[in-house]
Amino acid sequence: MGRPVIRALIAAALVLALAGCGVVPRPSMDTTGADTFEDDVRTARTLGEEFWNQQFRQLGRTYRPIEDFVAYAGGSGPDCGDQPAVPNNAFYCPIGHFIAYDERWMEALWNEMGDGSVYVVIPHELGHAVQAQLRTGFALNVQLELQADCYAGGTLSALVGSGVLGTEEGDEDELLLSLAAAGDPTDDWLDPDAHGTAEQRQLAFAKGYRGGVGAC
């Protein structure tokens, strides 16, 4: 199956999912109106954590909010244990239970690909925070990453479905572009840093969007 066909299938899945959701005035995944990059970052974090708090409560468990949400520039980010922060990245650190992100990099994504990028990156990192709390274990790093993509799709789907986020024409393209930009160039699952190819990440996100976090 060629890449155009895969992309068409993923896009169709997202279009069908988004098509059934009503559009609300604010906040919405577009850059029109008064929304700013900072607004979207704050909204993605706040709504994402509220969503997981509800999910944990339904399971009879207590969600532990992240301790800090750190914006950095270039190589000035916080260390995670003995691992230094790197430019053009966002990450969850279990040591300290915090999320950090290169603000200039993420704002560039927001400007170039649309604000949908923020609603991919931040829910993905929150997904890693959830994995840490659930003590999710996989043999390969790429499995953790693709589950976090799936969690991100499930989170976004729930927020749109509940009406707290709206959708507009072109949102599915923003989401696909954001996931494609973060995909690995090769399908090497044994690479300890592997995150999945563009198609694998898009499919994982679409799986969560269509089936919810329970499908992940």
The number of beta carbons lying within 10 Å of the beta carbon of residue 204 is 24
Task: Give bridge partners of residue 102 from the DSSP assignment.
Answer: 72
Nearest Cα neighbor of 113 from 179, 49, 21 is 179
Looking up tokens 């989170």 gives 155
Closest to 123 (Cα-Cα) out of 66, 191, 192:
66
Mean pLDDT of 17-38: 45
Q: Say if CB 109 and CB 117 are below 8 A apart.
A: yes
Query: Does the pLDDT value for residue 153 go beyond 60?
Result: yes
pLDDT value of position 131: 97
pLDDT tens figures, 38-59: 999 999 999 999 999 999 999 9
pLDDT per residue as tens digits for the range 164-183: 888 776 677 777 777 777 66
- For the ranges 26-30, 116-120, 123-127, which has the lowest average pLDDT? 26-30
For residue range 190-211, list pLDDT tens digits in order: 677 778 888 889 899 999 999 9
- The pLDDT, as a whole number, for residue 194 is 74
Q: Which residues are paired to 100 by β-bridges? A: 70, 91
**pLDDT of res. 186:** 63
pLDDT at 28: 43
Of residues 5 and 114, more confidence is placed in 114
Q: What is the mean pLDDT of residues 73-92?
A: 92
Find the mean pLDDT for residues 142-147: 94
pLDDT of residue 185: 57
Average pLDDT over residues 135-163: 92
Q: Measure the CA dihedral 23/114/216/60, to 10°.
A: -60
- Position 130 scores a pLDDT of 98
